[in-house]
């Protein structure tokens, strides 16, 4: 697992911050949307370009987190990560995880 981003809560429930990997180094914004069914709770933008989506989840231990999928034509495959609140000041860490082999 690796920290690939840091975000802070902004007005309207959005989250703003930076994503940094070997391929990406960009400012990003999680914009909340009205979720229906299994649809995402957030759309993720780098400027005006949508680069992913995210879903609110709860861990088996009962802790809330946000499941993130980032995708871009420059990437060989989508990036899966989870966004975790670090403290009560509205700071979050984006943690990359490698999908488990099936």
DSSP string, 48-99: TEEEEEEEEEE-TTS-EEEEEEE--TTSSS-EEEEEEE-STTSEEEEEE-PP
Query: Is residue 56 included in any domain, yes or no?
Result: yes
User: 92, 93, 82, 96: which is closest to 23 by C-alpha?
Assistant: 96
Query: Is residue 23 included in any domain, yes or no?
Result: yes
Task: Tell me the pTM.
Answer: 0.89
Query: Is residue 102 included in any domain, yes or no?
Result: no
Q: Which of 20-29, 72-81, 92-101 has the lowest mean pLDDT?
A: 92-101
Q: Structurally, how many domains does the chain consist of?
A: 1
Number of Cβ within a 10 Å radius of residue 10: 14
Q: What's the pLDDT band for 98 if we cut at 50, 70, 90?
A: confident
Query: Rounded to an integer, what distance in angstroms lies between the CA atom of residue 1 and that of residue 51?
Result: 21
- Which residue in this structure is represented by tokens 């609110």? 56
What tens digit of pLDDT does each residue of 79-96 get? 999 999 988 788 999 999
Query: Is residue 37 included in any domain, yes or no?
Result: yes
């Amino acid at each position: 697992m690796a920290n690939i981003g840091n975000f802070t809560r902004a007005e309207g429930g959005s989250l703003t911050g930076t994503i940094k990997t070997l391929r990406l180094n960009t400012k990003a914004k999680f914009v909340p949307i009205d979720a229906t069914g299994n649809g995402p709770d957030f759309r993720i933008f780098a400027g005006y370009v949508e680069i992913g989506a995210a879903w609110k989840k709860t861990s088996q231990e009962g802790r809330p987190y946000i499941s993130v999928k980032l995708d871009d034509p420059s990437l060989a495959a989508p990036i899966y990560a989870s966004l975790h609140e670090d403290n009560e000041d509205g700071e979050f860490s984006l943690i990359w995880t490698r999908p488990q082999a099936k």
